[in-house]
């Protein structure tokens, strides 16, 4: 079924056609999304989902980190959450309610200012809270789902449900629904944090940001870590050992600062980045027998 803008009624958000995804990804690459929707709020998003035909693929995007959109673009609908689903507030008993579009850095700062600790590691995650929920994002020893008390989701029909961590299989950088319904998406969660002592939370955030600036290429277009760390080892060490640090394919280069980062050094294409990812994987496996698992999500039509 072909989507027609005229079939949507009573929407308050912005619906656009052929939106360039390079404007919405941290790598600054990616072809056009067939349809791109910016909801006004959760109720508007529910109204929109009810009207999207079941055979039309739906993709969600926050700040576009941890995401590679192929050059030929995306067939279907892309829904933007960053800066839109942006409510964050303190609940009773040291709990924090956060919507999916809030940046992870803002979660860390907000909790700190509220006198709560436990979420400082979010300062080192370059994405939105919804993305952190979807992949159990972590940094510097912290992980998202260790703090989650419950989550709010929307299903394909725009119905809102509340779920608990027991409804999911939670692993390292992976979250799988046990409800049997894969067409549902995180829109918010409640986190359980802890009272902080004085300036403890602020000091932790400052230390994490300092360490991040020292070890990661923060000033260049990247997606964050490209590969998961294998058990008992580090992807960056294996990539450097295989001789890939500083090497490029076209405008896509392995960072000289951190080998598990690929930077868009000079007008890279998504195809160049994906090829570099594939060649690194093959090289590391040939050298060590370890098959690195990409942390980055690759979506869109085939490489061009």
Question: Which sequence positions are flagged as catalytic?
Answer: 173, 225, 295
Tell me the pairing of strands 58-61 and 74-80. parallel
Separation of alpha carbons 122 and 143, rounded Å:
9
Separation of alpha carbons 88 and 108, rounded Å:
11
Separation of alpha carbons 79 and 101, rounded Å:
11
Are 226 and 260 in contact by the 8 Å Cβ rule? The answer is yes
Separation of alpha carbons 185 and 133, rounded Å:
10
Strand partners, 221: none
H helical segments located in the chain: 42-51, 104-113, 129-135, 200-215, 235-241, 270-288
Listed as own residue / partner, the contacts of 82-85 with beta carbons closer than 8 Å and 24 or more positions apart are: 82/128, 84/13, 84/38, 84/39, 84/40, 84/41, 85/39, 85/41, 85/42, 85/45, 85/130, 85/187, 85/188
């Amino acid at each position: 079924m072909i989507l027609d803008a005229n079939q949507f009624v009573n929407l308050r958000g912005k619906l656009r056609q052929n939106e360039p995804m390079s404007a919405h990804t941290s790598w600054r690459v990616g072809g056009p999304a067939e349809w791109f929707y910016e909801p006004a709020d959760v109720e508007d998003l529910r109204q929109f989902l009810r009207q999207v035909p079941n055979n039309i693929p739906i993709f969600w995007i926050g700040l576009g980190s941890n995401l590679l959109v192929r050059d030929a673009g995306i067939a279907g609908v892309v829904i933007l959450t960053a800066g839109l689903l942006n409510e964050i507030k303190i609940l009773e008993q040291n709990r924090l309610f956060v919507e999916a579009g809030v940046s992870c850095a803002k979660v860390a700062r907000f909790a700190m200012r509220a006198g709560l600790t436990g979420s400082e590691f979010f300062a080192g995650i370059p994405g939105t809270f919804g993305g952190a929920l979807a992949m159990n994002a972590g940094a510097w020893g912290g992980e998202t789902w260790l703090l989650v008390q419950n989550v709010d989701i929307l299903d394909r029909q725009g119905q809102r449900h509340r779920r608990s961590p027991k409804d999911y299989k939670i692993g390292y950088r992976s979250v799988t629904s046990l409800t049997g319904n894969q067409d549902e998406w995180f829109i918010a969660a409640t986190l359980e944090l802890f009272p902080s002592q004085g300036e403890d939370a602020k000091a932790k955030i400052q230390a994490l940001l300092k360490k991040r600036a020292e070890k990661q290429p923060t000033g260049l277009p990247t997606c964050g870590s490209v590969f998961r760390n294998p058990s008992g080892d580090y992807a960056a060490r294996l990539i450097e050992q295989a001789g890939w640090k500083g090497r490029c394919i076209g405008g896509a280069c392995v960072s000289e600062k951190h080998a598990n980062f690929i930077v868009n050094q000079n007008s890279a294409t998504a195809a160049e980045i994906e090829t570099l990812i594939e060649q690194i994987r093959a090289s590391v496996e040939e050298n060590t027998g370890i098959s690195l698992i990409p942390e980055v999500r690759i979506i869109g039509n085939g490489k061009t």
